[in-house]
Structure formats: C-alpha cells, structure tokens
C-alpha cells in the first residue's frame, strides 16, 4: 500500500521509548504554509491530558455530528488501520484521499527540504483534509504532552484538559508538576479552558497558566452528581448552563467515562449557544448510544472477552475498579502486554494482587515492548502464536485483554475465531 510506503519513510516516535526526534512544531508549521495554512481556516476544539483524551474527543465529536454539524476528529494511535485517526462524522478518511494528501505532503517536504516525523505527516494530512471538506468543527487530540506537540499550532475555540497522571516521563518530565506544565501548553491567550482534574496540585498549575494567559477556567467536576450503577451501565445527573439537571446514561461503561462525559458536555456547554446550537435531548441520546472501539469493548459474551487500552497505572487501576463493579464474585483471566516505559513490573504486580493471578503475557514484535527475562509466574506467549492464545481463552472466567493499543490486533483475531466458533472447538 502506497500509504504505508510513504509513512515508513518518516521517523515514528510512537515506536520509541526513548530518544524522541524532532519534538517541536517548527516543521509542521513550515509544511502547512505551503498548503495554505489549513489549520487556521477550520474551527477546532483542542484536547490534551493523560487519560481519556480519545474518549472525550470522540464524545464531543459525536454530539456535534448528532446535532447536524460536519465534524472532523483527529485521534491517535489507531487500532487496526491508519485511516481511523482521521474521521468526519464517524467515517474514516478513504485510502484514495489519504494517499493523495500524503503524496502531496511528501513531495512538498522533499522539494523544500522540510524534515517531518510520522506524526507530523498525519497531523498535516488531517488539517488539509478537514479544510478540503469544509468541516463545521474539528476535534483535535494531542499526540503527546501539549506544549511541543505537533497539534499545538491551532487557535482553538476551547482548550480541554483531561485527567493528568504519570506517563511518558522520559519525554515530559518525572514529576506530576512537570508533566502538567507540558499539558497546559495548549492553553491559549483569551481562549476558555476546561478540565476534569480534581487533584489540587494539578488544578493549581492549570489555573495559574490560565491566569497568565487570561483564559477563563471551568472545572467540570462540580457539574455531575447522583451516580448510580445498573447491571448494564451507569447513570448520573449533569447540570450546566444549557443542561438543567439532565439524567445521563452510559451503557456498560467504565467509571472513568463519567468524568470524560462530564468534561465533554462542559466543553459543549461553554461553547453553546454563542458558537453552536446544541439540542440537549439530541446530545443526551448521542451519549446514550456512545461506544468506542478498544475502550471497555466486549467482543464476545460467550465466552466473555473484553478489551481495554489501559496502559498506565492510573488507567489500569480504573479498569480493575470497573471490572469488580460489573463482575462481582467473578474470576478473571488476563491477557496483557506492556511497553518498557510504562513500569510493566508494577502493572503486572498490581493486576496480580487486585484482579487475578491468572495472567497470560503476550510478547510483541515491537522493540518498545517489555519482554520478561523469566515468566514471573505468568504464561508467556508470543504474539505470532495465535493458536495458543485461542486455546488459553477461558470458557468460564472473564477474559481481559489490556495493556496496549498494539494488543488489539490479536484481540480482534480472537473475536473473529470466536465468531467462527473456533474457540470452543479448540477447547474440546
């Protein structure tokens, strides 16, 4: 495929645990000048944070699309196909269009001596595509950090910061203060900001940056209450300027999605009605129907197989809480893999102590992937050995796949095998 041929020419920092290259906005600014600065022509909502960025971005995008607005969505990484990163109204950019844009970017960069990374190229492609398609709004998720992130060349309608925790310490800093300061780099002069963070230390850093830039800060944490759990989902009450004690239902969702949903609603609420007209009933229906591939996704109920992209201590902790909430008195079998820079031994220990000692660790063909020196009382399987993974699926326990986006490809093969009834056949 020409798309992969082009992208493979560029340094992909997503495959590196150390030694990030060209971590700045300089080169994307240069390439987009040649494209007519498309990022300056589209209305954007910018999202940074550690956990829940993709979920929050997707919820906002879904609400806008449901209300009749042509809405672009740029997220990363992808699960199966690169096209997933660039969408309009839930539809991925097609191969032909993406290929044309990538060829243009590649030829322009080579002709003008502009050095780009893999993420630079994809981000530029998203801005060009959204401008070509005349989106009403485009929701843009930061790739990493905020201050120096390739996406941080836009002047958004609002800056959104999801929960911040430890991640990418080798790039962003080894304290929560340093990491937070990097994330606050998306805050712009005289542009409103909203955050879901509740930790006093983090909130104070965000608030100080907002004061410095004359950005009005709203905390979404005070806008939801009366949380209740049902057998198949979560209910809570959300109140805002345009939402008057509305009952919100999230079907079979992790507890963390309450925060993400309230944050998304608050961002929408702050922009309406001045910048957009939102029907509250339509917005609530959109949330009620919301699902997101790879986030607490149930691929099979018999046997029960769930995938979640939790990949750091904060998100793994949230995942365990949610599983214990929905599956009380159940036993679990874990299929996990972690990257070297995510403190894998700590995550494995946490899962063992708090969820299950029944762990299958999957080694990936990825230099970033943690590969244990010994088995650590786990069943260790290579990703190419799909037969063994299928054989190890439990017919009685809850099977959990987690730890990395890169595990999704294996999970999807398992689900396909289940649909073909291979799992039960191979267990017999």
| Position 50 pLDDT exceeds 50 | yes
pLDDT mean over 398-422? 88
Q: Which residues contact 333 (CB under 8 A, 6 or more apart)?
A: 356, 358, 360, 392, 393, 394, 397, 398, 399, 400
Q: What is the percentage of the chain residues whose pLDDT exceeds 70?
A: 93
Q: Which residues sit opposite 399 in a β-bridge?
A: 305, 333
pLDDT tens per residue across span 335-393:
999 999 889 999 999 999 999 999 999 999 988 899 998 878 899 999 999 999 999 99
How far is CA 293 from its chain centroid?
A: 10
User: Do the beta carbons of residue 243 and residue 310 sit within 8 Å?
Assistant: no
pLDDT mean over 212-233? 94
Say what the pLDDT of residue 231 is.
81
- Work out the angle between the directed axes of helices 118-132 and 26-34 (0-180°, nearest 10): 40
Integer Cα distance of 182 and 362 in angstroms: 32
Integer Cα distance of 269 and 240 in angstroms: 7
CATH topology assigned to domain 2-222+250-288: 3.40.1190
Question: Residue 383, Cβ neighbours under 10 Å: how many?
Answer: 18
Say what the pLDDT of residue 427 is.
52
Q: Of 407, 420, 59, give the one whose Cα is nearest residue 262.
A: 59
pTM over 0.85: yes
Say what the pLDDT of residue 21 is.
52
For domain 297-427, the CATH class is: alpha beta
Say what the pLDDT of residue 428 is.
47
Phi, psi of 298 (to 5 degrees): -95, 110
Integer Cα distance of 184 and 49 in angstroms: 9
Break the chain into its structural domains and give their ranges.
Answer: 2-222+250-288, 297-427
Q: What is the percentage of the chain residues whose pLDDT exceeds 90?
A: 82
Say what the pLDDT of residue 379 is.
95
- Tokens 């994330």, residue located: 183
Task: Region of 224 please: left (phi>0), alpha (psi -120 to 50) or beta.
Answer: beta
User: Do the beta carbons of residue 386 and residue 413 sit within 8 Å?
Assistant: yes
pLDDT tens per residue across span 176-200:
899 999 999 999 999 999 999 999 9
User: Do the beta carbons of residue 337 and residue 407 sit within 8 Å?
Assistant: yes
Question: Residue 343, Cβ neighbours under 10 Å: how many?
Answer: 18
Half-sphere exposure of 259 (CA within 13 A, CB side): 22
Integer Cα distance of 333 and 396 in angstroms: 9
- Tokens describing residue 278: 């939102």
DSSP summary character for residue 87: E
- Tokens describing residue 333: 């079998």
Task: Tell me how far CA of residue 304 lies from CA of 71, 99, 299, 371, in angstroms.
Answer: 34, 38, 8, 27
pLDDT mean over 148-161? 96
pLDDT tens per residue across span 111-153:
999 999 999 999 999 999 999 999 999 999 999 878 889 999 9
């Amino acid at each position: 495929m020409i798309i992969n041929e082009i992208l493979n020419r560029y340094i992909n920092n997503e495959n590196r645990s150390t030694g990030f290259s060209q971590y700045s906005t300089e080169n994307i600014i240069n390439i987009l000048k040649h494209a007519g600065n498309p990022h300056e022509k589209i209305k954007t909502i910018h999202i940074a944070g550690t956990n829940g960025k993709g979920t929050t971005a997707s919820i906002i995008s879904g609400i806008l699309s449901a209300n009749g607005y042509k809405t672009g969505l740029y997220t990363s990484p992808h699960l199966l196909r690169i096209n997933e990163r660039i969408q309009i109204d839930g539809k991925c950019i097609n191969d032909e269009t993406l290929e044309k844009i990538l060829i243009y970017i590649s030829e322009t960069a080579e002709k003008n001596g502009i050095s780009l990374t893999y993420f630079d190229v994809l981000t530029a492609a998203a801005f060009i595509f959204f401008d070509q398609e005349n989106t009403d709004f485009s929701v843009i998720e930061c790739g990493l950090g905020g201050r120096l992130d390739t996406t941080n060349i836009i002047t958004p309608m609002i800056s959104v910061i999801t929960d911040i925790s430890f991640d990418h310490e080798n790039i962003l800093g080894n304290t929560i203060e340093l990491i937070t300061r990097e994330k606050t780099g998306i805050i712009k002069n005289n542009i409103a900001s909203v955050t879901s963070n509740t930790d006093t230390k983090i909130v104070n850093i965000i608030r100080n940056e907002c004061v410095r830039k004359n950005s009005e800060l709203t905390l979404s944490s005070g806008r939801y209450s009366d949380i209740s759990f049902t057998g198949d989902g979560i209910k809570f009450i959300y109140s805002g300027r345009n939402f008057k004690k509305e009952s919100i239902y999230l079907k079979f969702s992790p507890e963390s999605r309450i925060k993400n949903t309230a944050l998304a609603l608050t961002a929408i609420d702050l922009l309406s009605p001045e910048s957009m007209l939102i029907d509250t009933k339509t917005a609530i229906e959109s949330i009620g129907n919301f699902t997101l591939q790879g986030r607490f996704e149930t691929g099979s109920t018999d046997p029960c197989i769930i995938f979640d992209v939790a990949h750091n201590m904060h998100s793994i902790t949230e995942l365990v809480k949610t599983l214990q909430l929905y599956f009380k008195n159940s036993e679990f079998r874990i299929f996990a893999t972690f990257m070297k820079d995510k403190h894998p031994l700590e995550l494995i220990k946490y899962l063992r102590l708090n969820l299950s000692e029944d762990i299958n660790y999957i080694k990936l063909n990825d230099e970033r992937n943690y590969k244990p020196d010994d088995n650590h009382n786990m069943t260790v399987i290579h990703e190419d050995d799909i037969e063994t993974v299928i054989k190890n699926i439990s017919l009685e326990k809850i099977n959990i796949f987690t730890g990395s986006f890169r595990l999704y490809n294996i999970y999807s093969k398992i689900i396909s095998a289940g649909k073909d009834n291979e799992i039960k056949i191979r267990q017999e």
